[in-house]
């Protein structure tokens, strides 16, 4: 799947985020908050539906428990026979939702195109939100932030479609980042058992075995029409997945974010304020576009700079009034930059974020609100063009197209 922006073809950039051992990790964090001195992720432990009943089912297990042969889905009785020292803990679904929401809120700083695939998995369409950065750089940044800010780890899969990104995130765990692009499927997944292909269940795998199809590569190179006759629409899907084909979109819905932001790691250090302002304009445009898409206004703006010595500087300022207007927020961003960038130093990352978000309908009219119907109309017109032709179709930054601008001279 490709996006076309005024003749320029862009390959989709998809991330799949999968929390490592979510139920056990999130339970461990809750217990530590409550004063526990032992991290259950580091001992033989398991999460179960009802620890009082020996017929209860194991929902998640630690790596040490796994080393004893404990598996998800077996009864507590079976698990304890394998691991007599196994410590059991009940599920905490309210806490799981909080951690899931915290992850979503962090990811929403990178794109609004997020599909919650399950409580601990998300797809992100980053195609028009890389701002000249690479998908791998964004994945590394997300991985570090989740670990440092939320306290758990994730696996991240990178590809140009959802299915391949999902399979990539299932490779070696935990806390890993993997790619799986079409040119890599022959090496990385064709040798795998066909049962490991996404959406191939046990019964389908058993039927495929009977036809001499044992690996994903066998399926990919088998006669497609034969597979379709035997499996119908599911056969088409399985054959296409085996060949790395998936045209499905990231299905997202707008959820209220606590903050919206983006950042870009520059290919070359910059020590020129005017160039940093130009980069800020591109970031502000993207952030305000998302504000308006969510029908929200910002009350706080923040600028982040990271030096080439990896020292972070973050300054923020309260806005005079709640707004989503690009020009108004850009003026605030430039003011913040002037206050914090008094001594020139090489900058390798520029970030911008808005906080204190409020719903448009709940905001109070300010006497100092300089937004005019003309400004609002211009923003809305630009937004419509972005939606119709793609985000990169038109920007107030004009020739400062980020991908082009990154060829600093």
CA atoms within 13 A on the CB side of 207: 13
Q: Which residue has tokens 């079409």?
A: 182
Q: Are 128 and 3 in contact (CB under 8 A)?
A: yes
Indicate which residue of 109, 121, 277, 285 is catalytic: 121
Going by the DSSP 8-state scheme, the letter that residue 75 receives in this structure is B
Q: Which residue has tokens 């982040």?
A: 304
Region of 151 (left: φ > 0; alpha: ψ -120 to 50; beta: rest) is: left
389: helix, strand or coil: helix
In angstroms, the CA 262 to CA 340 distance is 19
Active site residue 121: yes
**Packing angle, helices 135-145 and 93-107, rounded to 10:** 140
DSSP strand pairing (45-48 vs 87-90): parallel
Region of 344 (left: φ > 0; alpha: ψ -120 to 50; beta: rest) is: beta
Which of 360, 352, 350, 379 lies closest to 132, judged by CA? 350
Going by the DSSP 8-state scheme, the letter that residue 149 receives in this structure is I
Cis peptide before 160 (omega within 30 of 0): no
Count, residues in the chain = 409
Which of 117, 127, 92, 119 lies closest to 14, judged by CA? 127
372: helix, strand or coil: coil
Which of 220, 165, 166, 159 lies closest to 194, judged by CA? 220
Q: Are 56 and 50 in contact (CB under 8 A)?
A: yes
In angstroms, the CA 178 to CA 159 distance is 9
In angstroms, the CA 103 to CA 119 distance is 10
Q: Which residue has tokens 């409580």?
A: 119
Q: Are 64 and 23 in contact (CB under 8 A)?
A: no
Q: Which residues are catalytic?
A: 121
């Amino acid at each position: 799947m490709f996006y076309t922006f005024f003749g320029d073809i862009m390959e989709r950039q998809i991330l799949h985020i999968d929390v490592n051992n979510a139920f056990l990790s999130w339970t461990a964090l809750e217990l530590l908050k409550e004063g526990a001195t032992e991290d259950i992720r580091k001992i033989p432990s398991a999460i179960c539906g009802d620890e009082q009943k020996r017929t209860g089912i194991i929902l998640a297990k630690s790596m040490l428990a796994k080393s004893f042969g404990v598996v998800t889905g077996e009864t507590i009785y079976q698990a304890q026979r394998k691991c007599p020292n196994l410590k059991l803990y009940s599920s905490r679904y309210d806490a799981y939702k909080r951690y899931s929401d915290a992850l979503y809120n962090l990811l929403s700083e990178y794109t609004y195109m997020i599909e919650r695939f399950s409580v601990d998995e998300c797809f992100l369409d980053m195609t028009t939100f890389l701002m000249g950065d690479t998908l791998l750089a964004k994945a590394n940044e997300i991985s570090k932030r989740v670990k440092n800010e939320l306290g758990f780890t994730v696996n991240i899969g990178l590809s140009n479609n959802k299915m391949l990104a999902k399979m990539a995130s299932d490779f070696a765990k935990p806390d890993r980042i993997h790619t799986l692009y079409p040119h890599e499927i022959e090496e990385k997944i064709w040798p795998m058992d066909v049962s490991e292909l996404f959406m191939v269940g046990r019964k389908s795998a058993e039927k495929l075995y009977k036809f001499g199809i044992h690996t994903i590569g066998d399926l990919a190179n088998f006669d497609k029409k034969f597979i379709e006759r035997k499996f119908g629409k599911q056969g088409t899907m399985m054959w296409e997945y085996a060949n790395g084909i998936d045209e499905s979109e990231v299905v997202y819905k707008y959820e209220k974010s606590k903050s919206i932001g983006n950042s870009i790691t520059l290919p070359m250090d910059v020590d020129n304020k005017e160039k940093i302002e130009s980069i800020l304009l591109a970031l502000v445009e993207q952030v305000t576009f998302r504000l308006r898409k969510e029908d929200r206004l910002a009350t706080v703006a923040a600028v982040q700079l990271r030096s080439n010595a990896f020292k972070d500087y973050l300054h923020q300022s309260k806005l005079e009034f709640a707004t989503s207007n690009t020009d108004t927020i850009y003026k605030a961003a430039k003011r913040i930059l002037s206050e914090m960038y008094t001594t020139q130093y090489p900058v390798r990352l520029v970030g911008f974020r808005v906080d204190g978000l409020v719903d448009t309908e709940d905001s109070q009219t300010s006497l100092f609100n300089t937004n005019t119907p003309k400004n609002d109309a211009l923003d809305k017109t630009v937004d419509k063009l972005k939606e119709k032709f793609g985000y990169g179709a038109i920007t107030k930054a004009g020739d400062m197209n980020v991908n082009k601008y990154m060829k600093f001279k």
